[in-house]
Chain A
């Protein structure tokens, strides 16, 4: 699968001008394609999806249909010829991949051969440059999550099998299994990164102190650093550095930056993590900043512009080039910015700017108790116990003190003990109909009924809620009773 993903990633993303098709091996008709193939062939989508692929594409050397149906992953692309709409021909490189888990399908990737022009384009290089980013993102969006799902599933199964192997293989094979596990785990991590890239997760924002995020992140990072990397913390560490942000996503940002810094310093060096607050505070919108500064090899100026693009890596074969793309996605989802400064041989500074907040952490939004503070006890006569715990938690979240009674005798005792502070009684129908409990007239009560209430309208201070009910409805009834 590693070969598959690399081949696909290379074909799709290194070269922007890429046509894609998923082909049914029985009918040879494309089931899915991208707009590039439509543009090249000049066919409408409907025409293309009803035309056998060998009608407009042939291999220069070998039988195309035979290769397509061979269900093998080929390490080198084929040279082929694409029939164009205007009657012309175009040389293309053709990559054929078996579709994971779908023996009846194949994935076809076509790239223009460099010496040939795209039909109808006077300046192919210019247009390619224009199209490159759009096509790359389009390809990522459409295919990465599908590929990632397949990878993810296969890796899960592989890991399951390795787990079994670990318990059964002889001792001399331990090391091999260990290496296998590491490799497959890396594959699973890659698949998860791809999945995240295909489906960005919106941040769950809450008021956080960036110092906590950094300290937790560094604890994990230090595990991966050798003794030869010195970590220093500079900037604002004495006062809170507050933001409304998703702590776990920002931790991922720190992890990705930290690991890049480590890889930039194979012989060791200095890693500085700097926190700043109140940047541009005079303009009324203060920013905070988290910088990761390494003393590593630095990045060549021509590479800085592309470093946030997915699948672009300058680690010479290490990594897949998703770390910084994820960093940028997360930061932008937080309405922030990423700045990079680097000098070859001197090191790199990546600075994350996020909107800050001025005040101290705000307490969670207080629920205004709709009752007088002296009367804050809610008596709960309900079963089963799990339901009672959930209802009690809701009442406590409303600012009340929930007291539970499990039978009529206990309920009567509680009523008497708490009568001065009693705000409401929540009572199950079983207490009334089976145990024959009589609710005192002066006690506001919510009756949890088994079936829709019938009969005369309820008197003042009484509400009925039928099973099954949502907690939101329960809450509304309590608020009505107390208002």
Chain B
């Protein structure tokens, strides 16, 4: 039996957040629960006190959750991150694997699955659904999904995908540069590159492409 864990819940949905807090407060295996509404607040919370497990919503306004997950792991190497999503897109799962998330759970799963996931990842294991697990391919350099769907996204670099995510969310170049701590010129260069690679030269079309490919979703 593991000792009770501290959990940081990151979700912009107030009602969901409050419901889960209430639920975790009754759960003896959770010793502390803190909830924040976005990735920036989550990073701040991790800096103040590193939680054992983070439940990270995939689609929040502001900083990309995968970008935040990477930064959390840099700041707190032992932190265990579970990606929580309404969707089970391959693109999201692959990004979760790329940031070495310890788990991936959908919002449709029952609350006891959430607790099971927390216990497993806190114990040093991973938590993916059996369907995802069966498709994992292990290489010496990392983990990927078998039979990924052929998508134009694969022509983009990780950085270009991040930029595309923010463009699709309606962020300006200046905002993207601030979020990613890079210059506006660099954002410009990445944007031009990804537009050229995708053959899309319009921000609205880019947003539609990102949604279609599962890089982002509607709120």
Answer yes or no: B138 CB below 8 A from chain A CBs. yes
- In Å, the complex CA distance between A163 and B168 comes to 13
A389 and B126 contact, CB distance less than 8 A: yes
Please provide the chain B residues from 97 to 132 with a CB less than 8 Å away from any CB of chain A in the complex: 100, 102, 107-111, 120, 124-127
Please provide the chain A residues from 145 to 183 with a CB less than 8 Å away from any CB of chain B in the complex: 149, 152-153, 155-157, 159-161, 163-164
- In Å, the complex CA distance between A393 and B130 comes to 11
Answer yes or no: B207 CB below 8 A from chain A CBs. yes
Could you say which of B125, B142, B170, B212 contacts A161, with CB atoms under 8 Å apart? Answer: B170
Q: Which of A153, A164, A219, A404 counts the most B-chain CB atoms under 10 A from its CB?
A: A153
Could you say which of B107, B110, B170, B204 contacts A208, with CB atoms under 8 Å apart? Answer: B110
B207 and A156 contact, CB distance less than 8 A: yes
Please provide the chain A residues from 109 to 152 with a CB less than 8 Å away from any CB of chain B in the complex: 149, 152
Answer yes or no: A309 CB below 8 A from chain B CBs. no
Encode A381-397 as 1/0 by CB contact (under 8 A) with B.
Answer: 00010110111111011
CB distance from A258 to the nearest CB of B (A): 15
Given the known interface contacts A192-B218, A223-B15, the answer about A471 and B125 at a Cβ–Cβ threshold of 8 Å is no
Count of A-B residue pairs with CB < 8 Å: 101
Answer yes or no: A315 CB below 8 A from chain B CBs. no
- In Å, the complex CA distance between A247 and B106 comes to 12
Answer yes or no: A75 CB below 8 A from chain B CBs. no
Q: Which residue of B lies closest to A160 (CB)?
A: B170
CB distance from A375 to the nearest CB of B (A): 21
Taking CB atoms, residues of chain B closer than 8 Å to A223 are 15
B61 and A163 contact, CB distance less than 8 A: yes
Interface of A is mostly: helix
Taking CB atoms, residues of chain B closer than 8 Å to A161 are 170
Answer yes or no: B143 CB below 8 A from chain A CBs. yes
Answer yes or no: B33 CB below 8 A from chain A CBs. no
CB distance from A378 to the nearest CB of B (A): 13
Q: Which residue of B lies closest to A220 (CB)?
A: B15
- In Å, the complex CA distance between A340 and B115 comes to 38
Answer yes or no: B49 CB below 8 A from chain A CBs. no
Taking CB atoms, residues of chain A closer than 8 Å to B125 are 389, 392-393, 396
B207 and A157 contact, CB distance less than 8 A: yes
- In Å, the complex CA distance between A415 and B219 comes to 51
Answer yes or no: A450 CB below 8 A from chain B CBs. yes
Could you say which of B111, B133, B170, B217 contacts A164, with CB atoms under 8 Å apart? Answer: B170
Please provide the chain B residues from 195 to 211 with a CB less than 8 Å away from any CB of chain A in the complex: 204, 207-208, 211
- In Å, the complex CA distance between A409 and B125 comes to 23
Answer yes or no: B192 CB below 8 A from chain A CBs. no
A389 and B124 contact, CB distance less than 8 A: yes
B136 and A471 contact, CB distance less than 8 A: yes
- In Å, the complex CA distance between A185 and B13 comes to 13
Answer yes or no: B48 CB below 8 A from chain A CBs. no
A450 and B207 contact, CB distance less than 8 A: no
Q: Which of A223, A467, A468, A469 counts the most B-chain CB atoms under 10 A from its CB?
A: A468
List residues of A whose CB falls within 8 A of some B CB: 101, 149, 152-153, 155-157, 159-161, 163-164, 185, 188, 191-192, 204, 208, 212, 216, 219-220, 223, 246-248, 384, 386-387, 389-394, 396-397, 404, 450, 467-472, 474
List residues of B whose CB falls within 8 A of some A CB: 15, 19, 61, 100, 102, 107-111, 120, 124-127, 133-140, 142-144, 146, 168-170, 204, 207-208, 211-212, 216-219
In the complex, 9 of the A-B residue pairs with CB atoms within 8 angstroms, ordered by the A residue number, are A152-B218, A153-B208, A156-B168, A157-B170, A160-B207, A185-B219, A467-B139, A468-B144, A469-B137
